């Protein structure tokens, strides 16, 4: 069996500070239904995290709101003390009252409180990348990013990122702090953030696509991706991830799963190389 390693995806220096392998891991699926509470099999969640690092993953994305705090605490249990090259990215800016309930809260005192809690739950002195999970429309953006900048100046945050923003919002945030990453919905069938991706690539800002796997029936026999899947001998998920990796050098996909088998299938995408014709064909796909 060929060696599987996230290192095959290539490297990217996040914020000019942290070298990471481009294919990472997203931890949202390590929680209970509705991203609420503990997972059905906590031991398997720990195995998934440890196996991801064994397979070369050194960029792990999480959030205080996943559980809440369940994913962060699982990461600490599985991986602490962290290897020197493992970079943890977490997010703050949502509050939760139950399964599938997400409410943006960007008051500076709330963001500070959540960062302090994430430091404790992750067992870190500094969070390498802290992302504003959503812009709170009730609070000036400069106040939200400004509080993160204060936390950065205090040494509690390494880099600052944003989630679900457009180009104008990113430019506005850049007036207050240096922005190292953006995290938006983006995959083969949803490319509404194309303009943002082009902007961040031109400015060497990382683009972290959430929900990167959205092939569904597209990869089934007879579907638009079926012939490529069959010819290359890969899974639909591997095809979707390989396309993302070749779409832009600043792209950092973070596929998540609660299964070691599915994890290994995803990481194998790092070794899938698409021809220019394959990339062009995939780039025309729509759901």
Instruction: Mark the ranges of the chain whose per-residue pLDDT is less than 70.
Output: 1-2, 214-224, 286-287
Check residue 184 and give its pLDDT: 97
Alpha-helical regions (H) of the chain: 42-54, 70-79, 108-122, 141-153, 167-174, 194-202, 226-232, 236-247, 260-267, 276-283
Task: Check residue 236 and give its pLDDT.
Answer: 86
CATH homologous superfamily for the domain 9-213+249-255 = NADP-dependent oxidoreductase domain (3.20.20.100)
110 counts as catalytic:
no
Catalytic site residue from 66, 82, 110, 186: 66
Whole-number Å distance between alpha carbons of 272 and 139: 44
Residue 251's pLDDT is: 98
Look-up of token digits 């599938």: 100
How much is the pLDDT for 45? 98
- The DSSP symbol for 268 reads G
pTM: 0.95
DSSP-derived 3-state class of residue 183: strand
The Cα–Cα gap between 98 and 255 comes to 24
Q: Is 39 exposed, middle or buried (0-12, 13-18, 19+ CB in 10 A)?
A: buried
- What residues does each domain of the chain span? 9-213+249-255
Phi, psi angles (nearest 5°) of residue 90 = -130, 175
């Amino acid at each position: 069996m060929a060696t599987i390693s996230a290192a095959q995806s290539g490297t990217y220096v996040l914020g000019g500070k942290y070298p990471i392998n481009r294919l990472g891991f997203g931890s949202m699926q390590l929680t209970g239904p509705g991203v609420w509470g503990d997972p059905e099999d906590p031991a398997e969640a720990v195995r998934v995290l440890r196996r991801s690092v064994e397979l070369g993953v050194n960029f792990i994305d999480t959030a205080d709101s996943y559980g809440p705090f369940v994913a962060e605490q699982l990461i600490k249990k599985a991986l602490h003390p962290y290897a020197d090259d493992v970079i943890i990215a977490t997010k703050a800016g949502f509050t939760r009252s139950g399964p599938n309930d997400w409410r943006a809260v960007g008051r500076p005192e709330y963001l500070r409180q959540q960062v302090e809690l994430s430091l404790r739950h992750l067992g870190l002195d500094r969070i390498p990348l802290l992302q504003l999970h959503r812009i709170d429309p009730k609070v000036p953006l400069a106040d939200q990013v400004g509080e993160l900048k204060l936390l950065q100046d205090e040494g509690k945050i390494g880099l600052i990122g944003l989630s679900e923003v457009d180009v104008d919002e990113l430019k506005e945030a850049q007036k207050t702090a240096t922005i190292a990453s953006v995290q938006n919905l983006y995959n083969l069938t949803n490319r509404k953030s194309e303009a943002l991706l082009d902007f961040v690539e031109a400015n060497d800002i990382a683009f972290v696509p959430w929900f990167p796997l959205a092939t569904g029936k597209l990869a089934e026999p007879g579907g638009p991706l079926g012939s490529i899947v069959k010819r290359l001998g890969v899974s639909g998920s591997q095809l979707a991830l390989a396309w993302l990796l070749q779409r832009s050098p600043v792209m950092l996909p973070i596929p998540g799963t609660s299964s070691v088998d599915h994890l290994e299938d995803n990481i194998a995408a790092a070794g899938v190389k698409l021809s220019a014709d394959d990339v062009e064909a995939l780039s025309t796909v729509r759901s």
